[in-house]
Structure 1
């Protein structure tokens, strides 16, 4: 990936995302499409970037699974009480996976 286009790259350009929930915590699995995409995401898609993108103040936890390959994020408090406690349309957080796909990546090196 050349330097000129890197600042225009979103997660969607490099990966697919699956979303799930545990209580009011959103779980996001980011599945890179190839080894180059994994390397870029491993570097640029930090827990801090995800926390900022979802506007959460509690720490986001990232688990790296390079042999799958995947990056799994635990994003607390996003679902406002979870499936049974959230009055919004998406208590499971499925559309929030799409929200992560729109995150623009910033160069970290």
Structure 2
């Protein structure tokens, strides 16, 4: 984990990729995206701004089920699990990415808006 928290500064907009790492994969018709923050400040910001609803909006039209966010505080990370999301998954799907391997890249490209001063220190 980095000691420098400057990229997680709440005063400016950032892409998730500026303050975190990600990896994604599949199990049957479900995919998951793991996001690990680069610093404690980044983890706090992601906890406030990278919600299950935000990720569900990103994958609107791809996910027929639900998106659930699991906090992993000991790892300063999150695991997002999307059900009914791969058009049957693996060998059943005709989608370009039937195994969800590129979905972390999509989450990492999300932009987080600047946080208001009153919510930055909560």
Deviation of 1:35 after TM superposition, in Å, equals: 0.6
Query: Is the contact made by 2:21 and 2:38 (CA closer than 8 Å) also made in structure 1?
Result: yes
Q: How many residues were matched structurally?
A: 106
**Structure number with bigger Rg:** 2
How far off its partner does 1:96 sit? 1.3
Listed as ranges, the matches of 1:23-102 within 5 Å are 23-55=28-60, 56=63, 58-102=65-109
Structure 1 unpaired stretches of 5+: none
> For residues 86 and 12 of structure 1, do their structure 2 counterparts lie closer, same or farther at Cα, with a shift above 3 Å needed?
same
TM-score w.r.t. the length of structure 2 is 0.78
Q: 1:104 deviation in Å? A: 1.4
Task: Return the alpha-carbon distance in structure 2 between the equivalents of residues 10 and 102 of structure 1.
Answer: 6
Deviation of residue 59 (structure 1)? 2.5
Query: What TM-score results when the alignment is normalised by the length of structure 1?
Result: 0.87
CA contact (8 A) 2:65 2:85 kept: no
4+ long deviations beyond 3 Å: 106-109
Q: Which 5+ residue runs of structure 2 have no aligned equivalent?
A: 1-8
CA distance in 2, matches of 1:44, 1:2: 11
The CA deviation at 1:78 is 2.6
Q: Tell me how large the CA RMSD over aligned residues is.
A: 1.7
